[in-house]
A and B are shown apart, each in its own frame.
Chain A
Amino acid sequence: MLETLTVTIGSGIAVAAIRVSGQGPDARHAFGHAKAEYFASFLDAVLILITMILILISAIDRLRHPQPLENAWLGTAIAFGSSLFSLYFARKLFRTARQERSVSLQAEARHLVVSAVVSLGVVTGVMLTLLTGWQRLDPAIALAAGLMAGVTGIAILADTLQGLMDSQIGRGSLAAVQRVVADDAAELGITVLAVRTRAAGSEDFVEVVVAMPDTWSVQQARAASDRLERDIAALQPGRHVTVALGGGVPDAAPAPDAVISR
């Protein structure tokens, strides 16, 4: 019951965060609001950790003072049904989260899985207790479910803090960016000095610092950086690419066709 309430709160916050993150840049937030989603996933983590603490407290209490189960079958049936529903819904959420690359939806889906696992733990605990008659089995399984919830909560928290820390984009995406940069640089005859990336929720930012031949005109340099920006941005929607000139290369070869014919 409590767990469902926290899932509801989490979902509400996720909706609000997704709204904020979709607002786009404004005067005070020139890089957009995409990071707002992390606040929702942070709250999800906190809610899960609070749930964990409550579960652990009641489980330890019942471990020390075992109580006979009451009205167990109805409760078990309800919990079983709701956890199946949660798992089904979490699967859909995971898919949407992956498609939209939404941090808050992903956290919400993980929250739902936690909720389902806790319910299933309760069901298993009750059934085993009724079958074996050992009353400590129920709280012992609840304890395990609570610890599992804690692990998920901490994992979401870690992801959230990393996301807010201007972390690099995923290794796969980064490798793709680096490949494109290397290919383009070879073709355009420019030197790459640095590739910096940072993730911001469903969006990300790529900055490439390049050195171009000193003798190129700015127009030619622009053509080359445009090409690079387009190619990197094409890899993924929601990516913002900027190429900066980090230096000149003296006495370099004349501009290749790729630069001259825009």
Chain B
Amino acid sequence: MATTTPHSDVPPNKQPQTGGTRSLTRFAWLSIAAAVATITLKTAAWGLTGSVGLLSDALESVVNLVAAVAALIALHVAAQEPDEEHAYGHGKAEYFASGLEGMLVVAAAVTIVWTSIPRLIHPVGIESAGLGIMVSVVASALNLAIALRLFRAAKQYRSITLEADGKHLITDVWTSVGVVVGIGAAALTGWERLDPLIALAVAANIVWTGYQLMRQSMLGLLDTAIPADELDIVTGILDHYRTAEGVETHALRTRRAASRRFISVHVLVPNWWSVEHGHDLADHIEHDIRTALPGTTVFTHLEPIDDPTSWEDVGLDRAGDEGPAPPVSPGHQQASVIIGSALHPGSAARARCLGVPDMGRSRWGILSVLGGTSTLDETAQPDRSTWDAPCPDPPLVSFDWRRQSSQALSASRPGSASARRSG
């Protein structure tokens, strides 16, 4: 609901951190420029020396160009706004480029192994170093600089495509380092097998990089959850609302599309809350999550906390798959008095202490709270550790819960929707 709610302060696609998605293509252009420069350099060196090794080097750099163009296309597509066909945006396109980079990196490693093994079996004398090595070192330095820039941008904009392109360039650097070290070591020790051995070690490292890239891309495409540290931030925010507002949350589900996160959660609030009030709270939760994690689309589903069916729909298929929902009987919760919701800091147990009868049909108003207890039919309630916590003592005071709650909300979040409304 985040994208459509009238209260959202900043539309998610205008968030500062991801707002630059369109300009991410400039990094792809940087990578293309680097590939063209390397190809030119190596081709020129080949023209000067006629060394076949340099020509094949230049051809390998063409792979970098292909990868950079793929990154450019993917970043361009990913920057498109959500449209009719893609209501969740186009962020997943980034994984196509990063997956391709992974495949290209593995292919590069395979060619290294392919050329190294014959030389391991039948060692050949090291060709004259010199210009070839020089050119390769210069190209690697260029690639390294570009890769470091890409890594920085990837981190800043959380772009897996840029990260993958950077890793691809780094594998080129490793290859060159391997060549230089291999030739040097072979020349120093006089053991010619050292050169292909080092090349094989480099290849193993590159295969690992490529495998990681492909794995990450596939997991991203498979709607894998957001990283644990980000998930902790979300649960921290939800915990805050559980203790401060006496609501419950469950069925937290997260997934990512490259830089954009999607979070869906059920928020359980006292039955008699009004739609307006429930929506205000949901807005606050969404706002907090979006502020803590920019570029997040939050989707909240409101449920009445005292309705047992609310607790039965944690699964992806909601109540449908988890067997028949337990009967909703007002009798399973008996209150000695009618009490209302007071939003003083407490725990989730407040819901039990406060809310009791099934008030779904009554028009709520100002509820006088006389204090009281409730007994619960434990079998009718799913397991909830907080549910059995003792009620606060002294219990409750008389209040206009609507004013109270909006004050409580405004107090906790200045400048929020409720504050604007009441002001």
Contacts and interface: CB of A to CB of B under 8 A. Distances in A.
Interface of A: 24-25, 27-33, 35-36, 38-39, 161, 164-168, 193-194, 196-198, 200, 207, 209, 212-223, 225-226, 229-230, 233, 240-248, 250, 254, 260, 262
B318 A241 contact: yes
B286 to A, nearest CB: 10
B299 A207 contact: yes
Contacts, number: 168
Instruction: Name the 7 nearest CB pairs between A and B, nearest first.
Output: A219-B360, A30-B253, A214-B276, A196-B87, A244-B1, A219-B271, A246-B1
Given A28-B224, A217-B273, A222 B279 contact: no
Contacts of B92: 164-166
Contact of B224 (A29, A193, A207, A245): A29
A126 B230 CA distance: 63
Nearest to A164: B221
A230 to B, nearest CB: 8
Given A217-B359, A247-B7, 17 more contacts: A29-B223, A31-B223, A31-B316, A38-B221, A166-B257, A212-B275, A214-B276, A215-B363, A218-B278, A219-B358, A221-B275, A222-B302, A229-B318, A233-B320, A241-B318, A242-B301, A246-B279
Interface of B: 1, 3-7, 84-90, 92-93, 95-96, 218, 221-225, 252-255, 257, 264, 269-276, 278-279, 282, 299-304, 307, 309-310, 315-318, 320, 328, 358-364
Contacts of A242: 264, 299, 301, 318
A157 to B, nearest CB: 10
A25 B86 contact: no
A31 B84 contact: no
Contacts of B302: 218, 221-222, 225, 244-245
Nearest to B252: A30
Nearest to A234: B320
A168 B85 contact: yes
Contacts of A221: 275, 278, 302
A199 to B, nearest CB: 11
A257 to B, nearest CB: 11
A197 B302 CA distance: 20
B88 A196 contact: yes
Max chain B CB contacts within 10 Å: which of A168, A196, A241? Answer: A196
26 contacts: A24-B316, A30-B223, A30-B255, A32-B316, A165-B93, A168-B87, A197-B87, A209-B4, A216-B275, A217-B359, A217-B362, A218-B273, A218-B303, A219-B271, A219-B304, A219-B307, A219-B358, A221-B278, A222-B303, A225-B301, A233-B318, A242-B318, A243-B301, A244-B300, A244-B302, A260-B360
A30 B1 contact: no
A30 B359 contact: no
A217 B320 CA distance: 24
Nearest to B87: A196
B86 A30 contact: no
A223 B360 contact: yes
A240 B274 contact: no
Nearest to B309: A226
A217 B272 contact: yes
B272 A218 contact: yes
A36 B219 CA distance: 9
A208 B297 CA distance: 14
A38 B87 CA distance: 19
Contacts of B364: 217
B234 to A, nearest CB: 12
B1 A209 contact: yes
B96 A161 contact: yes
Contacts of A245: 1, 275, 278-279, 282, 300-302
Nearest to B315: A25
A194 B88 contact: no
A248 B254 CA distance: 26
